[in-house]
Structure 1
Amino acid sequence: MTLYDTLASLWRTVVPMIVGALVAALAHAGIGVDSAAATVWLGSAFGAAYYAFFRVLEAHVSSRWGWLLGLARPPQYPAKATPAPAVVPPSAMPGA
């Protein structure tokens, strides 16, 4: 994975958290939530829903929705190489 892909994945995770925190702050100011824990839960839940919603739109509707996650293009993760199966010589087999 390139440096760009690493930074892109981090940025696309942080943007929904920032949006969630902003929405929680606005909800706290407008609704009058007394509990700080409720604000944290609201922010976290909204951030997770925000990310999931726009990630699905990006994957299934148009890549342009990715801009609402901070970057238009998701990071590209290289495929892992499949290790070759171990070859055991017949002489090393039990009972041989």
Structure 2
Amino acid sequence: MNLYASLIRTGVPAAVGWLVATALKVGLDLPADAVTGVLTPAVIFAYYGLFRLAEEHVSPRFGWLLGYARPPKYDTPEVTRAA
């Protein structure tokens, strides 16, 4: 389930970033490739950061806007000491 959750929570912001960047470049007189190349990662970063903070500090329900209700949890491996 951790793999699924992490893939969904990466894919949803990437899709939203691409869609928003594509929509924003419609009225701009700039090279489309350059605008998309700059806006897409910026929007992904902002979208993920905003809803991750909201999920952490406002309500866990904001996790659904990242595609999955809660962040993946990773088990910490136990460290054994050599004698």
TM-score, structure 2 normalization: 0.88
User: Which structure exhibits the higher relative contact order, with contacts defined as CA atoms closer than 8 Å and separated by 6 or more residues?
Assistant: 2
Alignment-mate amino acid for residue 28 of structure 1: K
Q: Which runs of 5+ in 1 are unaligned?
A: 88-96
CA distance in 2, matches of 1:23, 1:32: 17
Q: Stretches of 4+ moved more than 2 A in 1?
A: 30-33
Q: Does 1:79 align with 2:79?
A: no
Partner of 1:56: 53
Taking only aligned residues, the RMSD between alpha carbons, in angstroms, comes to: 1.3
Greater mean alpha carbon deviation, residues 34-43 or residues 10-19: 34-43
Instruction: Give the total of aligned pairs.
Output: 83
Aligned counterpart, 2:39: 42
Hey, what's the Cα distance between the residues in 2 that align with 1:40 and 1:66? Answer: 26
Percentage of identical aligned residues: 46
For structure 2, the 5+ residue unaligned runs are: none
Mapped partners of 2:19, 2:51: distance in 1: 17
Greater C-alpha radius of gyration: 1
The normalised TM-score by structure 1 is 0.78
1:42-86 CA-partner distances (Å, limit 9, x unpaired): 0111101110111111112110000110111111211221222x2
Query: What is the match of residue 94 of structure 1?
Result: none
